[in-house]
Copies of this chain bind each other. A is one copy, B any other.
Amino acid sequence: MAGVPRLPGCALCEADGGDVVWRDDALRVILPDEPDYPGFVRVVWNAHAAEMTDLSSRERERLMAAVWTAERVVRERLNPDKVNVASLGNLVAHVHWHVIPRWRDDRHFPAPIWGAPAQGRDDSTARRRDAVRSRVPGLREALARALQEAESAA
């Protein structure tokens, strides 16, 4: 990431933040390690910026295009009950988007995933999450392809 503005001590300036599925000069798309949420995708702006409105409108459009590609591929591949999309950054104030497939029987539903789990991990739910997890390699491949196609078309 030569030439990309970085902030010393920022976790997303100093490391990728997960398994990098795809990257270009502006952003990267990663699969973080979130055991309860297989298929969780993050889209991270490479340069350090704290808020979306610190980016130019063209930069925001480029970032959001990747977020919508991620949402579309997550829906096509995993067919979740809902998708949650969020840019928070209270802990790491470096623009990144969470794209989170949600299921009615996941550990927090219908609450957002960041609170205390409402449900324990019972066997049948764990099996259903394992079934999702088995589709993550296909998701990974489809994501990389879709992001590359979107870039080539732009």
Contact = CB atoms under 8 A, between A and B. Distances in A.
> On chain A, which size bracket covers the interface?
20 to 34
Interface string A71-100: 110010000001111111111010000000
A24 interface: no
A45 to B, nearest CB: 14
DSSP majority for the A interface? mixed
B53 A64 contact: no
B90 A87 contact: no
As for how many copies of this chain the complex holds, the number is 2
Interface in A18-77: 50-53, 57, 60-61, 64, 68, 71-72, 75
A54 to B, nearest CB: 9
Interface stretch (A6-14, A109-117, A123-131, A136-144): A109-117
A110 B84 CA distance: 19
A73 to B, nearest CB: 10
